[in-house]
Chains A and B, each alone.
Chain A
Amino acid sequence: MMAAVRAEWGRTWSVRAPWVTLAAVLVTVPLMATVLANDVVHAVSTGELPPGTSTAPAVALGPAVQLGLVVLAALAMHPVTTEYATGTARLTFQAEPRRWLVLAAKTTVVTVTALLAGVATGTAATFAVRAFLGVHAAPAPDGALAEALRAGLRTGVVLALAAILTAGIAAVVRHAVGTLALAAALLAGALLLPDPVSRWTPAGAVASFVEGGGAPWALVAWAVVGFAAAAGVLERRDA
């Protein structure tokens, strides 16, 4: 497994696209969150919201993470879909015929990356949102740093789980466009469904967890089932 992860880590970062999408993830979340925070401040200034409005930074972070997940999906699918696009998948399966292990290695690379990127971008976004909200930010009982780190960890966890799910989808679908469409629908689009349904979707689980809810078990289940299904398909299908 270590050999496979080493192979996939080096290979993933030896082309440009993952760097670009990683940068996009890091920029998108804080940018979107501060735009939303700015909306709150603006609404107060126009009288749309009462002057005493107090908003938790996590409220602005939630939708920003959701958007970030769509960008992250592009990063998470890349090591898989690019192999099919270039025909190197067959070469990789010659080197490692245990295909579940190849998928596990690729998934490890994007999951670790997503976790670190999520912690960084979630923490930064929370600081930025608090700064933008100013007096309209809800008080942080144990300090702004602890609040930001906690939000960063939650963001890291959802990005990591979303990366696992996306890598699985990519292995089944094989094409970039189809993978991105399906991942975006599951990770963000499903939020538009009525709540009793959407809470069981990845998007619903993300929204409630980032805004401070309990463990995102629905997303964990999606990620685990998605990976297992993809590994099964890879083993059976002709390469």
Chain B
Amino acid sequence: MITFAHATKRYGPTTALDDLTVTVRPGSVTGLLGPNGAGKSTALRLALGLDRATAGDVTVHGIPYRALRHPLRTVGAHVDARAFHPGRSARAHLTALARYNRIPARRVDDVLGLVGLSDVAGKRAGGFSLGMAQRLGLAGALLGDPEVVLLDEPVNGLDTDGVLWLRGLLRDLADQGRTVLLSSHLLSELEVTADHVVVLGRGRLLADLPIADLVGRDAPVVVRTPDAPAPLADALVEIGHHPQVDGHGLTVDGVDVTLVGDLAHALGLRVHHLAPAPVTLEARYLDLVADDVQYRARPEERIA
């Protein structure tokens, strides 16, 4: 469990994190979501004791990170891509970390096997691809068999196999009752990986809710029909909804998808597609952060 209690971090005049209060719970995968500059990395750095909070507290199982004994056995993190010496082997890199926390040497080979780097364990890590570098970072995070796992954009650079493997791994970790927090800007990735999301914008907490709530509940229902959608639209208006008709069918908010299907059937409409809008997470997310995007590309500066 990671607890942020009124955590605030200022770097000079910039407020990177503004009074964040949230609890990341064990037994589930929590996604940390937000645009660039939202405070995701700052939140992770405070949790890891790398930066000191200007105000408030961040604790792991109720203990500030810097008070943990052998912290890698409690918290495993992978926050910097390619944080290793290019001239050092993957094994030597992990061995140094293991020794600091009195983790047995065989655990180094175990995690190298777990992430699929056994064959290159003795090679200079400078020659690793981005995907291999990510795997080495993940191996470091798993080294101490930690209760809490923090990952910053872990999917970057992983190939399809790697992404699937990581998804399974995170699920297993959460199912074992561990706390898993990962930041990502890939909404689609969080949608399939995370159970819960914490959304940040300009350092403030915008939302803290189960991913199902962000995705499903208010998803607009999209209907595609080769027939004229007007009768269905009228029927929906009659029961108090506001469908938007377009050339291929209609979209309607706040109504159960099964009801729309039943209506279409009753009206004799041929339905080729009937589903909650698949882009909902993105749309909801953009709604949430609309006012909180720090680095917005101004339309007139967009390259044609």
**Are B83 and A3 interface neighbours, CB within 8 A?**
no
Judged by a CB distance under 8 angstroms, whether B96 is at the interface is yes
Tell me which of A15, A86, A96 has the highest count of chain B C-beta atoms within 10 A of its own C-beta.
A86
Contact of B89 with A by CB under 8 A: yes
The answer to whether A15 touches B87, judged by C-beta atoms less than 8 angstroms apart, is: yes
Looking across the interface, which residue of chain B has its beta carbon closest to that of A12? B96
- Interface magnitude class on chain A: 20 to 34
> Which residues of chain B come closer than 8 Å to A17, judged between CB atoms?
87
- Whether B85 is near chain A, meaning CB under 8 Å from some CB there, is yes
- A97 and B88 contact, Cβ closer than 8 Å, known pairs A88-B83, A90-B83, A238-B51: no
Which of the residues A10, A236, A238 comes within 8 Å of B99, measured between beta carbons?
Answer: A10
Tell me if B71 counts as interface (CB < 8 A to partner A). yes
Tell me if A198 counts as interface (CB < 8 A to partner B).
no
Give the shortest distance, in Å, between A147 (CB) and chain B (any CB).
Answer: 40
- A sample of 19 cross-chain residue pairs with beta-carbon separation below 8 angstroms, ordered by A number, consists of A7-B98, A8-B96, A15-B85, A87-B83, A90-B50, A90-B80, A90-B83, A91-B83, A95-B71, A95-B72, A95-B97, A95-B101, A96-B71, A97-B49, A97-B67, A97-B68, A97-B71, A236-B52, A239-B51
A228 within 8 A of B: no
The binding surface of chain A is classed by DSSP as helix
Q: Are B100 and A86 in contact (CB under 8 A)?
A: no
B86 within 8 A of A: yes
* Pairwise interchain contact A10-B92, C-beta atoms closer than 8 A: yes
B64-80 contacts to A (CB < 8 Å): 65-68, 71-72, 75, 77, 79-80
Shortest beta-carbon distance from A174 to chain B in Å? 15
Does the CB pair B85–A6 fall under 8 Å?
Answer: no
**Pair B96/A10 contact, Cβ less than 8 Å:** yes
A176 at the interface (CB under 8 A from B): no
Complex partner residue of A3 from B45, B85, B101, CB under 8 angstroms: B101
5 nearest CB pairs, A to B: A7-B99, A14-B92, A11-B96, A95-B100, A97-B66
Interface residues of A in 91-110 (CB under 8 A from B): 91-98
Q: Which residue of chain A has the shortest Cβ distance to B65 in the bound complex?
A: A97
Q: Once the chains bind, are A3 and B100 in contact (CB under 8 Å)?
A: yes
Q: In the complex, which residues 64-112 of chain A have their Cβ closer than 8 Å to any Cβ of chain B?
A: 82, 86-88, 90-98
Whether a CB of chain B sits under 8 angstroms from the CB of A4 is yes
CB closest residue in chain B, given A6:
B99
Q: Determine whether B273 belongs to the interface, using a CB cutoff of 8 Å to chain A.
A: no
B99 and A3 form a contact (CB under 8 A): yes
Contact of B140 among A4, A86, A91, A98 (CB under 8 A): A91
Please name all residues of chain A whose beta carbon is closer than 8 Å to the beta carbon of B49 when the two chains form the complex: 93-94, 97
Q: How far is the CB of A224 from chain B (nearest CB, A)?
A: 25
When distances are taken between beta carbons in the complex, the residues of chain B under 8 Å from A10 are 92, 95-96, 99
Asked whether A7 lies within 8 Å of B96 as measured between CB atoms, the reply is yes
Contact of A86 with B85 in the complex, beta carbons under 8 Å: yes
The reply to whether A94 and B92 form a contact with Cβ atoms under 8 Å apart is no
Residues of B contacting A97 with CB < 8 Å?
A: 49, 65-68, 71
Instruction: Check B52 against A7 for contact (C-beta < 8 Å).
Output: no
Q: Give the distance to chain B from A238, nearest Cβ to Cβ, in Å.
A: 4
Residues of the A chain whose Cβ atoms lie less than 8 Å from the Cβ of B77: 94
B82 within 8 A of A: yes
Does B83 contact A238, Cβ atoms closer than 8 Å? no
Apart from A86-B82, A90-B50, A94-B50: 8 A-B pairs, beta carbons within 8 A: A7-B96, A11-B96, A15-B85, A16-B87, A91-B80, A95-B72, A238-B51, A239-B50
